[in-house]
Chains A and B, each alone.
Chain A
Amino acid sequence: MADFSWDIRGPLDRALVAGAYGAQGDAGVSLTEIRNFDLVQVMARRGKAGETAKAAKARFGIAAPETPRAVAAADATLIWSGPDQFLVLSKDGRHSIESLAIVFAGSASLSDQSHARALISVSGDKARAMLAKLSSIDLHPDVFGVGAAAATSMDHTSVTLWRGNDRSGQAVFNLLVFATFAESLWHTILDSAAEYGVTIGHSEEL
């Protein structure tokens, strides 16, 4: 019998080269790929929005977003992804589809998206300037504050965009992109960011 290893290969494993990219000097854009997360799409069934909301509140301790927002629970982020649906982003199997299936049985349909997306976190002085090349969403702080989310498109590709908590006084924008598009979009992001100088890294931390 052959010896198998089930190594994981993320969609950006080859394209992402940690370090500096583009213009030299202080990097205006910081790009971090977040690897190995659990992502479950929760869709309320017909007439079951109330039950789904109750189940979510009981599980996460916070209300799931009913408008384009992302809310942080103790060990998960719930991101609005469309009418009557949201994504549960978590780590280490704490909210895997198997465990959530019990929580939402009868009230919502679940679909595992853990491998369907890549997660890229964008920050830096020039994050908004760079994202303006990709996104038609107005990211002005008065309009797109902490916790704002959008189901939108970049480079004609669907993405989920939300603003996380600020880090060291800087806004953090998170992008969930489709895995098979990720490498192509990554190159487009690098092209867009190159003039500002980029630092590139990856992390397992949400």
Chain B
Amino acid sequence: MRIVCPFCGERELGEFTYLGDAKPQRPAADAGEDAVYDYVYLRDNIAGVMSEHWYHGGGCRAWLKVTRNTLTHEISAVEPAAGAGAAKVGA
């Protein structure tokens, strides 16, 4: 598999580490135990298109949101995480 890193270009799978579902958002500090439980444990495992966190640890160390079809491994989009390359925000 090859992933197009928005910073580095197309790279081989070995440079990346998979984390998992990128949908769940970390709840606010006062959200309560149920919300955090959902965030930590309840993950979709979609046979199809999924948004996933991948880490380009063998390259630029950016965390990426990869939209991937888990059946075909087709990757339709790759975006940097909000805090990757954020120095340009407001610049």
Asked if chains A and B are in direct contact (CB within 8 A), the reply is: yes
Residues on A with C-beta less than 8 A from B57 are 158
Answer yes or no: A46 CB below 8 A from chain B CBs: yes
Residues on B with C-beta less than 8 A from A136 are 11-12, 14-15
Given known pairs A136-B11, A136-B14, A156-B14, the reply for A151 and B87 (CB within 8 Å) is: no
Answer yes or no: B85 CB below 8 A from chain A CBs: yes
Main secondary structure of the interface of B (DSSP, over half): loop
Nearest 3 A/B pairs, CB to CB:
A83-B85, A84-B87, A44-B87
Which residues of B does A touch, CB under 8 Å?
7-9, 11-12, 14-15, 57-62, 80, 84-91
CB distance from B17 to the nearest CB of A (A): 11
Answer yes or no: A153 CB below 8 A from chain B CBs: yes
CB distance from A133 to the nearest CB of B (A): 14
- By beta carbon, the residue of chain A nearest B15 is A153
CB distance from B70 to the nearest CB of A (A): 24
> How distant is the Cα of A83 from the Cα of B12 in the complex, in angstroms?
19
Most buried by B among A83, A136, A152: A83
Sampled A-B contacts (22; CB under 8 Å): A43-B87, A46-B89, A47-B86, A47-B88, A47-B89, A48-B91, A50-B91, A68-B9, A82-B61, A82-B62, A83-B80, A83-B85, A84-B85, A84-B86, A136-B11, A150-B8, A150-B59, A152-B11, A152-B58, A153-B14, A153-B15, A158-B58
Given known pairs A68-B7, A68-B8, A152-B11, the reply for A83 and B89 (CB within 8 Å) is: no
> How distant is the Cα of A34 from the Cα of B25 in the complex, in angstroms?
46
Which residues of A does B touch, CB under 8 Å?
43-52, 68, 81-84, 136, 150-153, 156, 158
Cβ–Cβ contact B91 & A151, under 8 A? no
- By beta carbon, the residue of chain A nearest B83 is A46
Residues on B with C-beta less than 8 A from A81 are 60
- By beta carbon, the residue of chain A nearest B2 is A136
Cβ–Cβ contact B91 & A47, under 8 A? yes
> In the complex, which of the residues A47, A83, A84 contacts B90, with contact meaning CB atoms closer than 8 Å?
A47
Residues on A with C-beta less than 8 A from B80 are 83
